[in-house]
């Protein structure tokens, strides 16, 4: 109950917009120090501080030049992307602090997204845990391992909300909901940054990609977006605000444009929203060659001009374009860019280095011995297993097919993914190694031991259309008492530049599923994938389906824990699963329209060839037990628009096993001066209940949670009725009505822009 209250209240604070936050206390000593360093720099050295070069592991776009010792000595490098390991980072840092004229330490950055060497569930999977505590703890371990490898700065969390399952990068974020996304964003920032950036085992977090990147048209990475102002502020900006509020000291610009202005030149949003409205003063880093790409966007044909535009818009660090260093000095000398703009950016970079403690200890205690001692420890692996267990979603379980019994049974494991260790790790595996990962096959073998027999056949490759393995798979299935079919996408089908036009099982896996199912043995499907898949045939035929995403080093053990019932699944979908790609965009928090979907009424919003409903809705996830919900009880049925109301619900474990449930609270503003979604998540919490046990969960609904942007684009709460809904999925809800009275309550009168 306490946790529920906490989450709801935490979210309250996220909504606050009236004043700035995320600011360090004005530190006069730091500012004096930073100014004194700045005063010693030449214009070229200043621009060097704003320049990020690539190291050996930093290639995530076009080939760009790697920097080396000579560049550091000449003051051309402010930071590196993709130089790894205590030894390598120490070596370069020594050059910076002993052989460069400026003696300024360099920053080492990398993409530490879901772990460094101990790989945790991919972010979309972890969001399915609906557990910010887990999200924070995994980020903490990632920070410890990354910092021990000499890194200071991670390009995570990725906080892009998306309604686009075709988009490969959906795997890197928390899914489709801004409330869940905000809670997870804040948790990740807390985990990465720890108590203080100065701590030798903290990483500076980067909320990315600012902003709207997840709305890429057609789900094609890097594509244009078309986002109305209100949607931008309601859907895409909240997780950034939450990250800023949690103290994120860095934000990365997105590749997309908004309303004709690429984000790397978008002064209105960088200066206007981040720095002005939110009073955020961290460093804004470009994405990989993002400054150079302003040329392709068509803002100018001249690289000096795009460098100027980016700096002037508020981009502080040029990741690998090398335009700031190469071309911007000319713009300053010609009077086209005030040197004060450069100075502000340099100040922010120097301040970051100061906050990280690099001017005191440029190595932050880094050594190969520390690196070894802190990497892939038994505790980290154990956390990886817990996180993986909580990220698994039981999509279907007819006739209690799951959990399985191993004793005396022959289990056929079928599918190429079952033995694909690299895929278990997922897309941004940083320093992760396939040999560290437990595959599904290995996990099942570990669990079964000598109690039963495990047979294996790959059946079919993931992508190719090769059916030669079918016969062996059928033979193995016939020999078994039960079949575990592991199908989906391999890890390289998700993440950056990995978009699909179909959400079906790739290759010949659908045929494989049908062939194996026809053998007639009890069959369980284990999905591995980085995006929602449309698997309608499976959903109506295969009796049990587990969504396991890519769960990291403990993937197979966690899957076996759930398959054999030592762990009761508790994950919930952070994203809607469509029946077919043709339903996209499909998301739970949609508008009602003037003709709400109704299968019985012809002239309503629907399709003639497929139901309008999703295959699996947001928030869906079953358990081996069942939970029943009371109707929500309000602390009062009527309140003023400026007042908070508590919502309580009693949840009962009505089945026969102990289980954890994610209790979800949704709200609809029934009538407003602008239309509101049919439901919006406004609170959630996990409760663990023994059979027959009951718990009352209380959420606090504050004005911030009931507010929206009105016709004048002000943040307001309007009087009227609100549907208050609680349940274990966005589609299975108990309801009541709250009435707010009085005048329109204006929370923030500054119109959004």
The smaller minimum CB distance to ligand NOJ, of residues 111 and 176, is found at 111
Residue 428 CB, nearest approach to ligand NOJ (Å): 8
Tokens for 733, please give them: 């809800």
Tell which positions 208-247 bind ligand NOJ, by CB under 6 A: 208
**Peptide bond between residue 398 and the one before it cis (omega within 30 degrees of 0):** no
**At its nearest, how many Å lie between ligand NOJ and the CB of residue 487?**
28
Residues numbered 329-388 forming contacts with ligand NOJ, rule: CB under 6 A = none
Of 113 and 394, nearer to ligand NOJ (C-beta) is: 113
> In 624-730, which ranges are E strands?
627-629, 633-634, 638-640, 645-653, 659-669, 680-689, 694-701, 708-709, 715-717, 720-729
Q: Which is nearer to ligand NOJ, 81 or 205 (CB)?
A: 81
Choose which of 234, 287, 489, 704 interacts with ligand NOJ (CB under 6 A): 287
Closest separation in Å from C-beta 111 to ligand NOJ: 5
DSSP 8-state symbol, 491: G
Instruction: Give kind and range of the element (H or E) at residue 344.
Output: helix 339-355
Per CB under 6 A, which of residues 150..209 are in contact with ligand NOJ? 155, 208
The reply to whether 288 sits near ligand NOJ by the rule CB under 6 A is: yes
**Nearer of residues 169 and 572 to ligand NOJ, judged by Cβ:** 169
Tokens of 662: 């994610």
- Residue nearer to ligand NOJ on the CB measure, 116 or 130: 116
Q: What is the DSSP string of 429-469?
A: -TT--GGGPPPHHHHHHHHHTTSSEEEEE--S-SSS---TT
C-alpha to C-alpha distance for 162 and 91, rounded to whole angstroms: 41
- Check whether the bond before 211 is cis (ω within 30° of 0): yes
Q: Could you tell me the smallest distance in angstroms from the CB atom of residue 287 to ligand NOJ?
A: 5
Q: Determine the angle formed by the axes of helices 339-355 and 323-333, rounding to 10 degrees.
A: 140
DSSP β-bridge partners for residue 526: 486, 546
Burial (CB count <10 Å: 0-12, 13-18, 19+), residue 457: buried
Q: Which CB sits closer to ligand NOJ, 248 or 388?
A: 248
Pick the closer one to ligand NOJ by CB: 219 or 728.
Answer: 219
Q: Give the nearest distance from C-beta 217 to ligand NOJ in angstroms.
A: 17
Strands ordered across the beta sheet of 283-285: 206-210, 250-253, 283-285
User: Is 287 a catalytic site residue?
Assistant: yes
Comparing CB distances to ligand NOJ, the nearer of 431 and 474 is 431
Token digits for 7? 């989450």
**Do 675 and 752 contact (CB within 8 A), yes or no?**
no
**HEC readout, 302-343:** CHHHHHHHHHHHCCCEEECCCHHHHHHHHHHHCCCCCHHHHH
Cα–Cα distance, 640 to 720 (Å, whole number): 10
Closest approach, Cβ 60 to ligand NOJ, in A, equals: 3
Cβ-based nearer residue to ligand NOJ, 49 or 60: 60
Contacts of 269 (CB under 8 A, 6+ apart): 210, 211, 258, 263
Q: Do β-strands 659-669 and 720-729 pair in parallel, antiparallel, or remain unpaired?
A: antiparallel
3-state class (DSSP) for residue 424? helix
C-alpha–C-alpha distance, residues 56 and 699, integer Å: 49
State the nearest-atom distance from the C-beta of 288 to ligand NOJ, in Å: 4
Residues 71-110 that bind ligand NOJ (CB under 6 A): 81
Report the residue from 45, 111, 489, 680 that binds ligand NOJ according to the rule CB under 6 A: 111
Total interface residues for ligand NOJ by CB under 6 A? 9
Shortest separation between residue 263's beta carbon and ligand NOJ, angstroms: 12
| Binding map of ligand NOJ across residues 477-496, x = CB under 6 A, - = no contact | -------------------x
Q: 115 near 137, Cβ under 8 Å?
A: no
Active-site residue, from 71, 177, 287, 710:
287
Nearest approach, Cβ of 319 to ligand NOJ (angstroms)?
Answer: 7
Candidate list 12, 51, 60, 397; residue touching ligand NOJ; CB under 6 A: 60
Max Cα distance, the chain (Å): 82
Measured between alpha carbons, how far is 736 from 648 in angstroms, rounded to an integer? 11
Residues 596/699, Cβ–Cβ less than 8 Å: no
Which residues lie near ligand NOJ (CB under 6 A)? 60-61, 81, 111, 155, 208, 287-288, 496
Would you name the residues annotated as active-site residues? 287
């Amino acid at each position: 109950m306490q946790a529920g209250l906490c989450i709801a209240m935490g979210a309250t604070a996220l909504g606050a917009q009236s004043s700035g936050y995320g600011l360090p206390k004005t530190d006069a000593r730091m500012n004096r120090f930073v100014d004194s360093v700045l005063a010693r720099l030449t214009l070229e050295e200043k621009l060097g501080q704003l320049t990020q070069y690539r190291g050996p592991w930093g290639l995530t776009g076009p080939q760009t030049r790697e920097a080396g010792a000579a560049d550091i000595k000449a003051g051309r490098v402010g930071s590196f992307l993709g130089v790894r390991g205590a030894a390598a980072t120490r070596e370069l840092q020594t050059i910076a602090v002993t052989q460069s004229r400026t003696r300024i330490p360099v920053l080492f950055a990398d993409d530490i997204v879901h772990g460094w060497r101990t790989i945790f569930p991919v972010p979309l999977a972890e969001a399915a845990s609906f557990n910010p505590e887990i999200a924070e703890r995994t980020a903490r371990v990632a920070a410890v391992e990354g910092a021990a490898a000499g890194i200071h700065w991670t390009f995570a969390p990725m906080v892009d909300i998306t309604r686009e399952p075709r988009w490969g990068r959906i795997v890197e974020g928390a899914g489709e909901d801004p409330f869940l996304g905000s809670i997870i964003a804040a948790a990740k920032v807390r985990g990465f940054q720890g108590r203080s950036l100065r701590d030798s085992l903290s990483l500076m977090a980067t909320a990315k990609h600012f902003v709207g990147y997840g709305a890429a048209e057609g789900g094609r990475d890097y594509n244009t977006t078309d986002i109305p102002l209100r949607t931008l502020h309601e859907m895409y900006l909240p997780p950034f605000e939450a990250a800023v509020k949690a103290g994120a000291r860095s934000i990365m610009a997105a590749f997309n444009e908004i309303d004709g202005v690429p984000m790397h030149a978008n002064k209105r949003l960088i200066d206007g929203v981040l720095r002005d409205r939110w009073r955020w003063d961290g460093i804004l880093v470009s994405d990989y060659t993002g400054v150079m790409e302003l040329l392709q966007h068509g803002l100018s044909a001249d690289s000096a001009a795009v460098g100027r535009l980016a700096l002037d818009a508020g981009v502080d660090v040029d990741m690998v374009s090398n335009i700031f260093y190469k071309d911007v000095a000319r713009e300053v000398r010609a009077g086209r860019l005030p040197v004060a703009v450069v100075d502000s950016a340099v100040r922010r970079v120097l301040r970051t280095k100061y906050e990280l403690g690099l001017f005191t200890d440029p190595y932050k205690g880094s050594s190969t011995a520390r690196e070894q001692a802190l990497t892939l420890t038994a505790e980290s692996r154990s956390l990886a297993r817990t996180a993986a267990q909580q990220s698994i979603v039981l999509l279907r379980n007819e006739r209690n097919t799951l959990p399985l019994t191993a004793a005396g049974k022959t289990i056929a494991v079928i599918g190429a993914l079952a033995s694909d260790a690299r895929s278990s790790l997922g897309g941004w595996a940083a320093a992760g190694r396939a040999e560290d990962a437990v595959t599904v096959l290995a996990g099942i073998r570990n669990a079964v031991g000598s109690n039963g027999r495990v047979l294996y056949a790959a059946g079919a490759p993931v992508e190719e259309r090769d059916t030669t393995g079918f016969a062996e798979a059928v033979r193995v299935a016939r020999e078994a008492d039960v079949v575990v079919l592991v199908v989906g996408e391999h890890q390289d089908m998700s993440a950056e530049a990995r978009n699909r036009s179909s959400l079906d099982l790739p290759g010949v896996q659908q045929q494989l599923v049908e062939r194996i199912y026809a053998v007639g043995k009890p069959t369980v499907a284990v999905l591995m994938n980085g995006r929602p898949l449309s698997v309608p045939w499976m959903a109506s035929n295969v009796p049990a389906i587990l969504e396991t995403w890519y769960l990291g080093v403990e993937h197979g053990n966690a899957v076996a824990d759930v398959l054999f019932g030592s762990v009761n699944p508790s994950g919930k979908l952070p994203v809607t699963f469509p029946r077919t790609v043709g339903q996209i965009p499909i998301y739970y928090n949609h508008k009602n329209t003037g003709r709400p979907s109704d299968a019985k009424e012809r002239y309503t919003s629907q399709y003639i060839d497929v139901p309008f409903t999703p295959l699996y809705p947001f928030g869906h996830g079953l358990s081996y037990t069942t939970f029943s919900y009371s109707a929500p009880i309000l602390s009062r049925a009527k309140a003023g628009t400026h007042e908070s109301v508590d919502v309580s619900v009693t949840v009962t474990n009505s089945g026969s096993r102990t289980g954890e449930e994610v209790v979800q609270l949704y709200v609809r503003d029934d009538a407003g001066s602008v239309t509101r979604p049919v439901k919006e998540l406004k609170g959630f919490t996990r409760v663990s209940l023994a059979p027959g046990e009951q718990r009352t969960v209380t959420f606090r609904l504050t004005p911030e949670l009931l507010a929206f942007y009105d016709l004048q684009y002000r943040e307001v709460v309007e009087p009227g009725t609100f549907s208050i809904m609680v349940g274990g999925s966005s589609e299975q809800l108990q309801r009541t009505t709250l009435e707010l009275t009085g005048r329109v309550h204006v929370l923030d009168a500054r119109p959004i822009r």
